[in-house]
Homo-oligomer: A and B are copies of this chain.
Amino acid sequence: MDETSDGSPTEEWQPGRIPADLDATNLRILDVLREDGRISISALAQRVGISRANAYTRFEALRANGVIIRFTAQVDPVRAGLGVCALIFVTVRQQMWRQFRNQLALMPEVEYCAITTGQHDAMIQIRVRDVATVHHLVTHRLASIPAVKATETVFILDEVLRRPFILPSDERPLPAPQPAAETGPSPLGSMRFVRANAGRADLGGL
């Protein structure tokens, strides 16, 4: 146990700090909650190997600290009627970031949006009913946003992996079961890191 007299209530979180309250027990709790978010606290305590009261305390703390943002269902988009998924890479007009974000919030088809380094400025992932809707969304709705300078669209053909989240405690199940001859340094030279375009350090009103 660390003796850093951190008596601050609710413990304000600071960006640079490594979460000290994420011990092995809390990580196991998150691990269980990842595969069954509706598990009862009693069952959770049982699976983690702690008492019910302790499980309640840690559970609430994880929520209060913001480690757990919310509980939600994971839905199969195809079975829900949204069979088409696409990625749209957006070049954003400088100093119009705020408008870009505001407009995105008004688009319910957008499941995910991230600001990236590299050739483009942002990547958004959308889910819609059919391909025609993608076309309409890109050429009409997105194109009508002044902050959007250009877009590049690719379709998602198959989603290989979709994990709810990952934890620092996740480790490789198999420690490289390959023949030693092939395990050496990169046999291929085409690993490329893409840096941002010139003038991209300016994130405007982000």
A residues apposed to B, CB below 8 Å: 13, 15, 18-19, 22, 30, 33-38, 65-82, 85, 87, 91, 101, 104-118, 122-124, 127, 129, 135, 138-140, 142-144, 146, 148-168, 170-174, 178, 182-188, 190-194, 203, 206
Contact = CB atoms under 8 A, between A and B. Distances in A.
Given A81-B22, A151-B190, A170-B108, A76 B67 contact: yes
A75 B79 contact: no
Given A113-B161, A116-B87, A75 B71 contact: no
A163 B74 CA distance: 11
Contact of A109 (B122, B135, B143, B166): B166
A163 B194 contact: no
Contact of A104 (B123, B160, B166, B183): B160
A153 to B, nearest CB: 5
B37 A71 contact: yes
A68 B75 contact: yes
A66 B87 contact: no
A32 to B, nearest CB: 9
Contacts of A183: 144
A144 to B, nearest CB: 6
